[in-house]
Amino acid sequence: MQAKINGITMRFDLAGKAQAPVVILVHGFPFDLSLWKAQVAALKKDFRVLSYDLRGMGKSGLGPAPQPLEAYVDDLFALMDHLGLKQAGAAGLSMGGYIVLRAMQREPSRFWALALCDTRADADSDEGRLKRAAGIKAVREKGVAAFVKGMLPNLLCKQKSPAATALLKMMLSSNADGVANALAAMAARTDSTASLKDIKIPALVVTGDQDALMPPLIAKGLALKIKASEFVEIPDAGHVSNLENPVAFNKAFLAFLRKAASRT
Ligand code: MLT
């Protein structure tokens, strides 16, 4: 399905029962909505599940540069408004987590639960920003394929698996400008750490036990700063823990969402 929002065409998928509590799934960089295939299948019996392609990724439109992280947050709210969704549980993986945390900071009343997956609240260090700048240069000079192939070893703990094939397919279909825009947005994003103490809704913090980008220590630190949070480490999984170990991920995710929904 497609929606015209904020001047771009956005691809989304809405599954599950119309009257059920809504859960929005926000993918990481540079993936697409198919990242959540196993989660949509597991959740749709109990929830109305919205997944979508971030601008400049998958089959969503690009939009003009520069587009700070705020533009991705604007898209999330605009898509909710377009579909008449007043409130949702939101899950974000990595860059999706940055978007969800910032959305929570801007309009906390729109959310009834948060799942922060393989993500962090703080902003990039100067070293991180310089790596993003090198990434922008690399994707412009060498193209998407060379850039995303270089990312793969840091994303998964097993390099040869159906998960690796699926992830590479998503990344290879990314648009070079979409990748460059997202890198610039992440480099310039604000630090959400100070707002974590204000989160009053249930939160699940999940991370792969072998996440090389957001190691469990970072995720544990994030969970400790949120009052009503649970922390779960997903075994045999790297940075994209929902894709690498969907069984363990879905068990924790579904149990958390059912409990949180019963309280709303
Ligand atoms: C992601 O998976 O979204 C990225 O690793 C996030 C990042 O580069 O900070």
Average pLDDT over residues 196-206: 98
Cα gap 6→249, rounded to integer Å: 33
Q: Six-digit token pair at 37?
A: 């295939």
Confidence of residue 146 (pLDDT cuts 50, 70, 90): very high
Ligand 1 atom closest to Cα of 96? Answer: 3
Nearest CA to ligand 1 atom 9: 95
Tell me: the pLDDT tens digits for 100-121?
Answer: 999 999 999 999 999 999 999 9
Ligand 1 atom closest to Cα of 120? Answer: 9
Does the beta carbon of 54 lie inside 6 Å of ligand 1? no
Residue 264 pLDDT > 80: no
Cα gap 157→138, rounded to integer Å: 24
Confidence of residue 189 (pLDDT cuts 50, 70, 90): very high
Tell me: the pLDDT tens digits for 54-99?
Answer: 999 999 999 999 999 999 999 999 999 999 999 999 999 999 999 9
Does the beta carbon of 31 lie inside 6 Å of ligand 1? no
- Is residue 80 within 8 Å of residue 104, measured between CB atoms? no
Beta-bridge partner residues of 22: 48
Does the beta carbon of 151 lie inside 6 Å of ligand 1? no
Global pTM? 0.98
Q: What percent of the chain has pLDDT over 90?
A: 98
Q: What is the mean pLDDT of the chain?
A: 97
Does the beta carbon of 60 lie inside 6 Å of ligand 1? no
- Is residue 172 within 8 Å of residue 221, measured between CB atoms? no
Average pLDDT over residues 39-62: 97
Does the beta carbon of 95 lie inside 6 Å of ligand 1? yes
Residue 252 pLDDT > 80: yes
How far is the centre of ligand 1, averaged over its atoms, from the C-alpha of 30 (Å)? 8
How far is the centre of ligand 1, averaged over its atoms, from the C-alpha of 262 (Å)? 32
How far is the centre of ligand 1, averaged over its atoms, from the C-alpha of 1 (Å)? 26
Does the beta carbon of 213 lie inside 6 Å of ligand 1? yes
pLDDT (0 to 100) of residue 263 = 84
How far is the centre of ligand 1, averaged over its atoms, from the C-alpha of 20 (Å)? 30
Does the beta carbon of 94 lie inside 6 Å of ligand 1? yes
Beta-strand pair 203-208/229-234: parallel
Which among 16, 247, 241 is positioned nearest to 115, based on CA atoms? 241
Cα gap 224→226, rounded to integer Å: 6
